């Protein structure tokens, strides 16, 4: 797992990208990081690549975006607007 931390305060969201490192998974990570920064959010971004760890989330298919332990989307690449909405919930 790889983590990127971006924080200005103690109220940090944990964002996880579930996937084996394919180009779609990397795109989701890049889009999620950009959306979180654009929203001015404090976050830690973790890329979960181990199959055993991904399976623990009970997703249908990668890639997946998890926000504070809740799976927001899996099996597809959401739009930038969808990601911003998911991060704002």
Q: Could you tell me which of 86, 79, 63 has the C-alpha nearest to residue 13?
A: 86
Rounded to whole angstroms, how far apart are CA atoms 14 and 12? 7
Q: Give the active site residue among 1, 3, 7, 22.
A: 22
Angle separating helix axes 23-38 and 80-88, nearest 10 degrees: 60
- Topology of 2-88 in CATH? Glutaredoxin (3.40.30)
Please write the tens of the pLDDT for every residue from 8-28.
555 799 999 999 999 999 999
Active site residue 80: no
The residues spanned by each domain of the chain are 2-88
* pTM (whole model) above 0.75: yes
Active site residue 25: yes
Confidence of residue 89 (pLDDT cuts 50, 70, 90): confident
Q: Give the active site residue among 18, 25, 83, 86.
A: 25
Q: What are phi and psi of 33, to 5 degrees?
A: -60, -45
Please write the tens of the pLDDT for every residue from 26-83.
999 999 999 999 999 999 999 999 999 999 999 989 999 999 999 999 999 999 999 9
């Amino acid at each position: 797992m790889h983590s990127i931390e971006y924080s200005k305060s103690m109220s940090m969201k944990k964002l996880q990208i579930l996937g084996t490192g394919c180009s779609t998974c990397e795109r989701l990570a890049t889009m999620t990081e950009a959306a979180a920064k654009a929203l001015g959010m404090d976050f830690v971004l973790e890329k979960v690549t181990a199959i055993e760890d991904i399976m623990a989330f009970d997703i249908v298919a990668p890639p997946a975006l998890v926000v504070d332990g809740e799976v927001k989307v899996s099996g597809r690449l959401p739009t930038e607007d969808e990601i911003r909405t998911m991060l704002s919930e």
